[in-house]
Amino acid sequence: MASQSEHKATVIDGKLIAQTIRSEIAEEVRQLSEKYGKVPGLAVVIVGNRKDSQSYVGMKRKACAEVGIQSFDMDLPEQISEAELVSKVHELNANPDVHGILVQLPLPKHINEEKVLSEISLAKDVDGFHPLNIGKLAMKDREPLFQPCTPKGCLELLHRSGVSIKGKRAVVVGRSNIVGLPVSLLLLKADATVTVVHSRSNDQESIIREADIIIAAAGQPMMVTGHNDCL
């Protein structure tokens, strides 16, 4: 067992790093606006009244406003049909002022998420969830047009905190399409030795203890904790 000092953790100040990134983006948007007379436009589509989704969407719209990105709000009723939602997506695909489209998940049960997401123009798939983008994310010597935001954020936090990834043992807890899977693919591309553990894994704890980098993306808090003797 390693000594206590080796286990000493540095807490990454995510809020501070986010503020730095937002300032950088605000400056980029200002330059774009000056040079081309245009700002990036992000359409955020929400269907129904889920509290958590409304809160996420609210944060995204607020973040857009802060940095000067034009936000296109599309709030649709829970009862909207799949065909109507698809036609709304097509409208946004055709709108030249909209450069990115986010459809907040989950969608109501009567709507096929895969179908709707696949209708978003690849060039506007800023969530990076289209299987073609995930495939390019996975493959050596290919690059997706967009990377999913949470995985990208994880790597950005490591990078801006001065943590080198190359050759390190990284363990990702969880394998969701939205976080676990793409973050494991990004870490592999960044030359980490990557292990993915999940609900079917035996002996999760000992695997996690061997990691240099742990990304906890299991969808529930407190899955990964310190031992009392290390705290």
Interface with its own copies (CB under 8 A): 114, 130-142, 166-169, 175-177, 181, 185, 188, 191, 193-198, 200-204, 207
Shortest reach from residue 206's CB to its own copies, in Å? 9
Torsion from C-alpha of 47, 52, 55, 59, nearest 10 degrees:
-90
Report residue 49 as tokens.
Answer: 């009244």
Based on CB atoms, which residue is closest to its own copies, 26 or 163? 163
Respond yes or no: is residue 79 known to be catalytic: no
CA distance 100 to 60: 12
- Nearer of residues 67 and 165 to its own copies, judged by Cβ: 165
Residue closer to its own copies by CB (options 98, 134) is: 134
**70 catalytic per annotation:** no
Catalytic status, residue 127: yes
Shortest Å, Cβ 199 to its own copies = 9
| Shorter beta-carbon distance to its own copies: residue 58 or 131 | 131
- Which residues are CB-neighbours of 76 under 8 A, at least 6 positions away? 45, 46, 47, 48, 84, 85, 88
Contact 193, 169 (CB under 8 A): yes
Residues 6+ apart with CB under 8 A from 231: none
Minimum distance, C-beta of residue 196 to its own copies, in the bound complex (Å): 5
Which residue in 88, 124, 125, 127 is the catalytic one? 127
Catalytic residue among 104, 125, 147, 189: 104
We find the least distance from the C-beta atom of residue 177 to its own copies, in angstroms, to be 5
Distance in angstroms (rounded) separating the CA atoms of residues 134 and 177: 9
Q: Is 144 helix (H, G, I), strand (E, B) or coil?
A: coil
Catalytic residue among 60, 88, 124, 189: 60
Catalytic residues: 60, 104, 127
